[in-house]
């Protein structure tokens, strides 16, 4: 016959009302705070209590979508300009070919700028500017 004992051998299945649970919760809370402090020390850019998307960062999917749309926009604009040049000047297909290549190059440059690997127009990358001579 099955006994009246629950998972902890007391016969109770719900939380108990003694102080043992509170002590255990306090210990867990202390350990959680220590872990949070340790993680904050390792990653100083992370803001406590906020996840990456709320802290001004972006998720991996968001970054991938941003970079791919930057590249596709450059290529599409190059194709559109090339098609208009061909249509107006009658140089088909050379305008489209030339501006497709220009759009491809512009798309790659936009991706590099968005990723922070190349400085934007009129900006200098940190540490890449001329040094002040005194």
41-73 pLDDT, tens digit per residue, is: 887 665 545 555 455 567 889 999 999 999 999
For 100, residues 6+ apart whose C-beta sits below 8 A from its C-beta are 75, 78, 79, 82
Q: What pLDDT, on a 0 to 100 scale, did the predictor assign at position 72?
A: 97
In this structure, what is the dihedral angle of CA atoms 83, 86, 89, 92, given to the nearest 10 degrees?
A: -170
Average pLDDT of the chain?
Answer: 78
CA separation, residue 55 to residues 45, 50, 51 (Å): 9, 6, 6
Q: How far apart are CA 127 and CA 118, in angstroms?
A: 13
Share above pLDDT 70 across residues of the chain, in percent, rounded to a whole number: 64
Query: What mean pLDDT do residues 71-77 have?
Result: 96
8-54 pLDDT, tens digit per residue, is: 565 556 555 555 556 688 888 999 999 988 888 887 665 545 555 45
Q: What single-letter DSSP state applies at residue 130? A: P
Q: What pLDDT, on a 0 to 100 scale, did the predictor assign at position 81?
A: 96
Q: How far apart are CA 42 and CA 90, in angstroms?
A: 61
102 vs 57, residue with greater confidence: 102
89, pLDDT greater than 80 = yes
């Amino acid at each position: 016959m099955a006994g009246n004992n629950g998972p902890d051998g007391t016969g109770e299945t719900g939380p108990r009302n003694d102080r043992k649970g509170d002590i255990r919760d306090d210990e867990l809370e202390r350990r959680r705070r220590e872990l949070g402090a340790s993680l904050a020390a390792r990653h100083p850019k992370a803001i406590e209590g906020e996840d990456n998307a709320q802290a001004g960062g972006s998720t991996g999917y968001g970054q991938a979508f941003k970079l791919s749309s930057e590249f596709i926009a450059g290529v599409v604009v190059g194709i559109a300009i090339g098609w208009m040049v061909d249509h107006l000047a009658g140089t088909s297909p050379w305008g489209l070919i030339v501006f497709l290549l220009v759009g491809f190059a512009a798309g790659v440059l936009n991706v590099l700028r968005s990723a922070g690997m190349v400085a934007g127009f009129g900006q200098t990358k940190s540490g890449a500017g001329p040094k002040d001579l005194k």
